[in-house]
Structure formats: structure tokens, C-alpha cells
Amino acid sequence: MSAGIRKNGIGCLEVYQASLERRVQQGEWDLVCRDEELCKEMETRLSECSPQNFHSQLGLDWLSVMEASLQASHHTLGQNRLKSLIKAFEVLELAALNLYLCPWRKEYKVVKMFSGMFTHCVKPALTAQQAEELFALLGYQPAGSNEEELRLSTKPVHSHTLLQLACGFFTARIECQLLLTAVASLGGSMEWVLQLIHERKRGCTFQIALDSTKRKLECAPCDTPLALDATLDLYTDDNLAEHSHMASPPSLPYIPPSDAPLPHNMSHMQHHRRLTRV
């Protein structure tokens, strides 16, 4: 198995299928691949080559899916989003395997988007459009007027394609895990994760992508002055300036102060400053 996967990406689908058949024969109820040996082999293969080597044969550009998901997130920590993506890819892998193994079962005809698994594992990771597009790869389409259901099309997806997609979702999980491990020591910020994914999309091996990310982000200037919000007013009680007065610094010509005598307290302050300078 090791030599087959390390040689090129072509053998990964066959190895994944062999692992699945072995699990089915053993009566394992969890079809999602947790084969430790296979996971380690896929992790090694992914880290040593470009992910694009897998996209064409597995039918899934998971890096683009991950990037779009992270960009849609309102969180600042990319680690949390990656953990959610791992769960979402697990659900999609399971859905593909269910259709691959038992396409005749009626309960697999409809995906309920208000179900516990969809609500807790898919929605936190994927946008509504992403979820619809990924389930469409498996043959599911919106159920007409019912916006809370996806129904299996009358034209089923070919079984080999379902197996490819299941392996693709499995591989996406491994890529997420690689990213999690890499950014854990770097603070896990969204910026780091997105930059690392960008480098991976360029075709870099994982180590080269990580080195490039460190070089670019560690050298990037981070002390950019913050601009004042023009809607804020320094002189009113309201958070938003209802009038335009002093909503932003006035652009008037500079007029030097006159020589008129200062109030007593101000003269005292200036005298004190002169003494301290001496």
C-alpha cells in the first residue's frame, strides 16, 4: 500500500476502496474512513506533492471549497473553521458511501437540512450555496417549494463517481488536518490559514507552502495607522453624528494663535513648562 500511494496519486482510490470493503466485511457501522494506516499514507502523499494531482481523479477541488468557506466565516481563528470543515467533509463522505453501497434505500432519497447532523456538522462549515453545490455532486437537488430538503435526482450518479467523491472528501479531511497541525503553532489566525491554502493552490508541496507563508506574513508590515471613522463625532453624546459638524477633522487653512494674553491658568502652565525645560 505504501509504495502504491507514494509512487503517484493513481493508486489512492483503489486503496481507499480496499479499505472500505474490508470495513464492510468486518461489519463496522461507521463507514467514514478512520483507517490509521491509510490516513497516515494519504497525509504523507499530500504533503509531498501538489493537491492538484488528486483533483482530476477524485472530482473535487477541496482547496477552493475550503478557501471559500474560510472567507465567508466571521471568525478570526481559522482553526475553528477547519475543525468544522472536517466534520462537514465527514458527513459528505458518509452520504457518498451510503449511495455507493445502498442506492436503493428510501431513507437516502432525501437530505433534511433541518436534521441534527446537517445543522450541527454542515451549516457551521459551509455556506448554503456550497452545501447545495456539494450535495448536487452526489445527485441531490432542492426539493421544489420545500427549501429545507434536498431530493435525489431520478438520474442517479454513477457508482464509480460516488466512490471517487467519497475518496475526495476523505482526502479533504486529511488536508484540513495538515493545515490544522501547521497553523497550531502559529496562532491559528485566519490570515495564516488562507495564505497557506493560497500557496497550496499554486501547486506547492506542503513544506514549501508553509515556508512561503511564513516568509510573506512575518515580513508583512503590521503597524498601519488606523483611519478615523468619519461617522463618529467627538462632541456629541450619540455614537453616530446626526449633523455634519466635527464628524471629521475640518479642512480649514491653518491660522496661528494670536498674541492676545492667555487666561491666567494657561499662562501658569506655559511658565511651568519653560521652567521644566531649563
Domain 2-218 has CATH 1.20.58.2190: yes
pLDDT tens, residue order, the chain (278 aa): 444 444 444 588 999 999 999 999 999 888 999 999 999 999 999 999 888 888 878 889 999 999 999 999 887 778 889 999 999 999 999 999 999 999 999 999 999 999 999 999 999 999 999 999 999 999 999 987 777 899 999 899 999 999 999 999 999 999 999 999 998 877 778 898 999 999 999 999 999 999 999 998 886 554 444 344 444 433 344 444 444 333 333 444 434 455 555 455 544 444 444 434 43
* Nearest partner of 77 among 186, 178, 217, judged by Cα: 186
146-154: list long-range contacts, CB under 8 Å, 24+ apart. Answer: 147/113, 148/112, 148/113, 148/114, 149/110, 149/111, 149/112, 149/113, 150/110, 150/111, 150/113, 151/109, 151/110, 151/111, 152/99, 152/108, 152/109, 152/110
pTM of the predicted model, to two decimals? Answer: 0.75
Query: How many residues in total does the chain contain?
Result: 278
The strands making up 140-143's β-sheet, listed across from edge to edge, are: 110-112, 146-152, 140-143
Domain coordinates of the chain in residue numbers?
Answer: 2-218
